[in-house]
Structure 1
């Protein structure tokens, strides 16, 4: 990328991927700044490897080359008028261009702000709106983007009076002379927007010291070994992809193989093909839905053992959303013949406000669940006239390096083990602040403790997450988790994870009732009515109440930029009339 020739695709047949093992002694992120971490990684042979939609190697990108390109980019940014503390927005496409610009922005003393690519959920205008809102929040000097989305990205930049430049063109600009700024550990390293930050975005300001502390926690908790290699399809605009599968690999000196997120969506099994080809051990993360998609793509005719070898998959990480034990068991059932071991599963819990990881399961312990009465989860008295109902709650592991966790009740005081309350955490990797939003910062940061907004409980130092407090459906004083309602409907034939959104609505009489929006793939009017009644009865069995059931066209329910269901947005679009349910025969 330092000149036009470096943009030419090499002869892929002659490519040799960066190695798993190296003579460079591994350091677990014990650096003062991220630039120092990249400098060290560049002195070894490991690096990044980018693959095409079918998982074929297209570009080998050692950390030494990334560092050279990043330094060149830093000097181009300085020549372009970017100063220390300026924000530089980057559309986060998985590839060497974004990697060099992100790291180059840090070398230049500015703050990179990764922003999402367009997704298949929503159209051109909604993407422009999303970018424009995040640009307004972060107030960057410039927005960089791939040439392919120049029209949309340029429109968003123009709307915010921000300069927009395609990174292919910027790579040809001249470089400034002179010394680069010197970074300190308490300087802001980057801004991270959480995946749901579209209407009221919160840019999480993360310092170098916070980042490096959390990355050291990754390496220690996962017990990284020399033969480990990361394989990832996660988007780089989401914290799990950016921090866990990009920045952590540099700071802990791990080689990686990447396919783009959109390529995974089209051919999810290419992810497993890449893991199979790794001669060393694999560390690879995915939300629950990634494992679910792969298990569903396996047909009875697929010769799993002949196509895949997952026996060396040492860490099969799971996070970013509620972990579904039934889905994970389905993955084990589908790929056990390929050598996959259930003990490889590594549940974790984290959020952008804590840089990323709060807890990680010790390797080898797999997914451990507890069956908890639903009444205990919702904090309501048990109805002794009905049989007890249980939900499997996943153990998300122990606190990472230097992180403290408390479960607090409504009084704000810590609760004992097995008692459900709000999850709070404190440690060096907790965010500096929300960018230019002191009120929101003060609302969730109290005496150094972060209110995560999630509900859970502790047992012997292990954290169990039961749900997100703001998603709770409260009707007639009784609490219901939307996940319980959604999971129940998903047990009916023909539904996939993410097909149902549950929330509460107010009827004309002022009564709060549960409502579910359900993707409907049935066209026959009589069958639709039958399905409607089945869903209504299923929800009534969970809540004891009649509910509003709306059948909506497939792909209607909104997602966050990382692919997670957005219940709050679904409710908003439904109430505003933007989601139009199918009309049912009387």
Structure 2
């Protein structure tokens, strides 16, 4: 019977000073800790110590090196939650090759869309070798058909390759550690080039200043390996700190989110991260009868990031799990992106969720984050979560459209400079020039403001709706929908498109569980009135069936995808302008019934 790798080990704790990820694995392999893989029932299926991982990675590295590829050649890895991914990723480190994690999620676009997406990434990354676990082998075979790959397939397809007599020199700090594709929420994903020095610098900051790692810590994760939080935070983070980590598959989490809590309880885990929707899903699925089976009192870091943080979702989670020993002080809001390896800022450890309440009208009209006065009506208040201070050695500036610095509490685009910023986007010089200045400043594309030393994120610059001169954040419209009893978290997506008169028209697409046409009409009318009352704008409401809203490869809702789908459903692909007739007829009932059929 297998047992999970231990929490405690004999190695002196070390989180920095490594020249490469391979060197970090060499050190971790001297201890007893490692990776543990669980199925959807919470049963251990495989335990892989870091010593075993190193041995298997070196074996595979010798076979990869024997292929005679040029140093730095790309190796595409379909990144399902499986130990073979770890082996391939670190084999690349030892072989002087660059791993490229690719999505392992067949979303609602179906097989054809997923295969096309994989193929596009294989081409974009200029992959020379490709790997997939058994469950994704057929997808990879179809996606790579006709491409000039040296080898493509499962681990078994690499097992018979000849071995090289010796391995190349270990990676230098300035060489690439991997290509990390962005989620593609606003455009086709781009491959961020992350060097060994960059990712190790970021990991040192995360482990020392963000989560303040300590002996006796243990990680648990269900995050996808192809997302920066899953790869850097929950694969590389545990290894670089020589700590054990327990993995649950992303699909298994989505089907049975309570297994996450079960593993946290059983293994006395102390650190786990999730986007806000993960906490919301858990809160919705947990039953009162479950609480006696969970003990979350050891959970000291409940990291939250990767998308806009909704304080109300986290409060529901904390309230639901309080009887199981979960402390809301464990919440650790953070901000980051793949272009910075992972993390930029962390809230103070042990603070929990700190919310800044703002005057919504002043924010909408002037983009000024004025604290709400005590007598302000609740409908005129908006809130943002404190994402803390930048990590040491990172500079953050808030800039206006003309590039000038804005004052404290003025909203602007977030720029940053630091040791873990990407080298650029692979094979895309134009995009690299747009994002990176000659002196190393990264245009994040995010909008936010500073209040004292703290950073607050208000949204993506490309997502901002400007309606009748007012700045409306799409998440505010989405939250109005989610407050209705018929609508759940992440069942709404807001965006704008041009109207016939040249102005922008707000659109809110809502996944509707209600089948009765009269109740659908009532929901639409409620939403229109609430939005008109709270934001002073008209909004077109479209109700659609469940599972209609598109998501990115990392699971986030894609507003750009929702906008494109809306245009297609309403015959506006060639002329994306809302006619007054379409606005007036409110196509909610037709959309639900037609799509359902």
Which band: TM-score by shorter chain? Answer: over 0.9
Q: Is the 8 A contact 1:372 1:390 kept in 2?
A: yes
Q: Is the 8 A contact 1:90 1:115 kept in 2?
A: yes
Cα offset, 1:200, TM superposition: 2.6
**Structure 1 partner of 2:443:** 451
2:13 is aligned with 1:26: yes
Which of these residues, 339, 345, 348, is aligned with residue 362 of structure 1? 348
Cα offset, 1:582, TM superposition: 4.3
- Cα distance in 1, alignment partners of residues 367 and 433 from structure 2: 34
Alignment of 1:166-177 (within 5 A): 166-177=154-165
**Structure 2 partner of 1:200:** 188
Q: Deviations over 1:202-228 (max 9, x none)?
A: 100000000100000111121111010
**Structure 2 partner of 1:144:** 131
2:418 is aligned with 1:427: yes
- Cα distance in 2, alignment partners of residues 143 and 577 from structure 1: 36
Cα offset, 1:197, TM superposition: 6.5
Q: Is the 8 A contact 1:84 1:181 kept in 2?
A: no
Alignment of 1:171-570 (within 5 A): 171-196=159-184, 200-221=188-209, 222-279=211-268, 281-300=269-288, 302-304=289-291, 306-380=292-366, 389-446=380-437, 447-570=439-562
Q: Deviations over 1:465-518 (max 9, x none)?
A: 111111001122221100000001111112111111100122334332101111
- Cα distance in 2, alignment partners of residues 347 and 181 from structure 1: 39
Q: Secondary structure at the match of 1:571?
A: helix
- Cα distance in 1, alignment partners of residues 550 and 456 from structure 2: 27
**Structure 2 partner of 1:49:** 36
- Does the C-alpha gap of structure 1 residues 127 and 198 become closer, same or farther in structure 2, counting only changes over 3 Å? farther
**Structure 2 partner of 1:119:** 106
- Does the C-alpha gap of structure 1 residues 581 and 237 become closer, same or farther in structure 2, counting only changes over 3 Å? farther
**Structure 1 partner of 2:579:** none
Cα offset, 1:581, TM superposition: 6.1
**Residue segments in structure 1 that go unaligned for 5+ positions in a row:** 1-13
- Does the C-alpha gap of structure 1 residues 491 and 464 become closer, same or farther in structure 2, counting only changes over 3 Å? same
- Cα distance in 2, alignment partners of residues 188 and 181 from structure 1: 14
Q: Secondary structure at the match of 2:387?
A: strand
Q: Secondary structure at the match of 1:23?
A: coil
Cα offset, 1:198, TM superposition: 8.8
Q: Deviations over 1:221-259 (max 9, x none)?
A: 211110100000000000000000001111121110001
Q: Is the 8 A contact 1:138 1:203 kept in 2?
A: yes
2:147 is aligned with 1:156: no
Cα offset, 1:376, TM superposition: 3.6
- Does the C-alpha gap of structure 1 residues 509 and 159 become closer, same or farther in structure 2, counting only changes over 3 Å? farther
Q: Secondary structure at the match of 1:498?
A: coil
- Does the C-alpha gap of structure 1 residues 375 and 444 become closer, same or farther in structure 2, counting only changes over 3 Å? farther
**RMSD of aligned Cα (Å):** 2.0
Cα offset, 1:400, TM superposition: 1.5
Q: Secondary structure at the match of 1:228?
A: coil
Q: Is the 8 A contact 2:5 2:33 kept in 1?
A: yes
Cα offset, 1:534, TM superposition: 1.8
- Cα distance in 2, alignment partners of residues 332 and 68 from structure 1: 42
- Does the C-alpha gap of structure 1 residues 22 and 381 become closer, same or farther in structure 2, counting only changes over 3 Å? closer
Q: Is the 8 A contact 2:186 2:558 kept in 1?
A: no
Q: Which moved more, 1:452-461 or 1:136-145?
A: 452-461
Q: Secondary structure at the match of 1:569?
A: helix
Cα offset, 1:52, TM superposition: 1.3
Superposition TM-score, scaled by structure 1 size: 0.93
- Does the C-alpha gap of structure 1 residues 74 and 376 become closer, same or farther in structure 2, counting only changes over 3 Å? farther
Cα offset, 1:161, TM superposition: 4.1
Q: Secondary structure at the match of 1:141?
A: strand
Q: Deviations over 1:82-111 (max 9, x none)?
A: 331100000001121010001101211111
- Does the C-alpha gap of structure 1 residues 85 and 185 become closer, same or farther in structure 2, counting only changes over 3 Å? same
Cα offset, 1:417, TM superposition: 2.6
- Cα distance in 1, alignment partners of residues 61 and 185 from structure 2: 28
**Residue segments in structure 2 that go unaligned for 5+ positions in a row:** 572-586
- Cα distance in 1, alignment partners of residues 233 and 519 from structure 2: 45
Cα offset, 1:267, TM superposition: 0.7
Q: Is the 8 A contact 1:377 1:466 kept in 2?
A: no
Q: Is the 8 A contact 1:375 1:381 kept in 2?
A: no
